[in-house]
C-alpha cells in the first residue's frame, strides 16, 4: 500500500511542478519593466513585500502543514522546515496568481478553526492527531466534498501544493526525495538498456552508450 508521504509526492509535486513553472517576476505588472521588482538578493533573502498573514492565520497554517507532511524518520515536520514562512511570502506577493491564492487560503483557514470548535470545543492547534485527521478527511478531496466544506477543501488543496513546494525545495526535503542534482559525480551513467528499449530507442545506436 502506498504510504501517505509517497501519495502526497505524487499528488502535490505534479501540481507544484506546473503551478510554479511560471515565475512570479515574469508576471509582474503588464505596464512595463519599470514596475517589476528587483532581482532578489539570494545571499540575504528577504521578501520585498509586506507579509499579510495574521498571527492567528500562521498558527492555523502551522498545524495544517504538519497534518499534510508530519515529521517521520526521514525528515522533520513541514512547519520545522519553514513551510509557514514560505506560504506567507507566497500569498503576500503582489502578483495576480498569488493574490488569487491568498483569497483561497485566507477564506478557507477560518473553516478549520470553526470545525475544531464545533466538533471538539478546542482550538485547531490543540486537537489530537486523530481529530486533525478526521477534519482533514472531510476536505482532502475537492471532488467529494460537501457544499458546506468547499472553502476548507479549496484551502486544503492549495496549502497541500504549497507545503510540498516548501518542504521538497529544502535540503532536508531533497534528501527525503533522494534528489542528487547539483552535485559533482565521478562519472555519468546512461539509462539502463531496459529503459531505452521501453522508450523505443535503439540501444546499439544510442549516443548515451559512449557518454
Across 9-30, average pLDDT: 46
Question: How confident is the model at residue 47, as a pLDDT?
Answer: 72
C-alpha–C-alpha distance, residues 154 and 132, integer Å = 17
C-alpha–C-alpha distance, residues 130 and 85, integer Å = 26
Question: How confident is the model at residue 207, as a pLDDT?
Answer: 52
Q: Is the pLDDT of residue 51 over 90?
A: yes
Could you report the per-residue pLDDT of 76-111, keeping only the tens digit for each?
A: 999 999 999 999 999 999 999 999 999 999 999 999
Could you report the per-residue pLDDT of 20-50, keeping only the tens digit for each?
A: 444 444 333 333 344 455 666 767 767 789 9
Q: Which DSSP category does 76 fall into?
A: -
Question: How confident is the model at residue 132, as a pLDDT?
Answer: 97
Q: Which DSSP category does 24 fall into?
A: G
Could you report the per-residue pLDDT of 143-167, keeping only the tens digit for each?
A: 888 999 999 999 999 999 999 999 9
Report the greatest alpha carbon distance in the chain: 68
Question: How confident is the model at residue 20, as a pLDDT?
Answer: 46
The percent of residues above 70 in pLDDT, for the chain, comes to: 75
At 39 the three-state DSSP class reads coil
At 205 the three-state DSSP class reads coil
Cell numbers placing 164: 510540498
Cell numbers placing 194: 531496459
Query: Does the reported pTM lie above 0.85?
Result: no
Q: Which residue has the higher pLDDT, 112 or 198?
A: 112
Chain position carrying cell 545506436:
205
Give residue limits of the domains in the chain.
4-179, 183-211
Q: Which residue has the higher pLDDT, 30 or 134?
A: 134
Question: How confident is the model at residue 69, as a pLDDT?
Answer: 94
Amino acid at each position: 500500500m502506498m504510504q501517505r508521504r509517497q501519495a502526497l509526492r505524487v499528488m502535490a509535486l505534479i501540481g507544484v511542478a506546473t503551478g510554479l513553472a511560471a515565475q512570479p517576476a515574469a508576471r509582474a505588472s503588464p505596464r512595463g519593466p519599470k514596475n517589476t521588482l528587483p532581482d532578489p538578493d539570494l545571499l540575504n533573502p528577504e521578501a520585498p513585500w509586506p507579509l499579510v498573514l495574521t498571527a492567528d492565520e500562521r498558527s492555523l497554517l502551522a498545524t495544517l502543514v504538519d497534518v499534510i507532511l508530519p515529521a517521520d524518520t526521514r525528515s522533520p515536520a513541514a512547519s520545522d522546515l519553514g513551510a509557514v514562512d514560505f506560504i506567507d511570502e507566497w500569498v503576500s506577493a503582489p502578483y495576480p496568481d498569488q493574490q488569487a491564492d491568498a483569497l483561497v487560503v485566507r477564506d478557507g483557514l477560518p473553516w478549520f478553526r470553526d470545525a475544531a470548535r464545533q466538533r471538539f470545543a478546542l482550538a485547531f492547534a490543540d486537537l489530537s492527531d486523530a481529530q486533525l485527521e478526521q477534519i482533514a478527511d472531510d476536505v482532502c478531496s475537492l471532488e467529494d466534498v460537501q457544499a458546506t466544506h468547499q472553502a476548507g477543501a479549496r484551502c486544503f488543496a492549495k496549502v497541500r501544493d504549497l507545503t510540498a513546494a516548501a518542504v521538497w525545495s529544502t535540503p532536508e526535503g531533497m534528501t527525503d526525495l533522494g534528489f542528487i542534482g547539483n552535485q559533482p559525480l565521478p562519472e555519468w551513467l546512461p539509462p539502463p538498456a531496459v529503459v531505452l528499449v521501453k522508450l523505443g530507442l535503439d540501444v546499439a545506436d544510442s549516443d548515451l552508450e559512449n557518454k
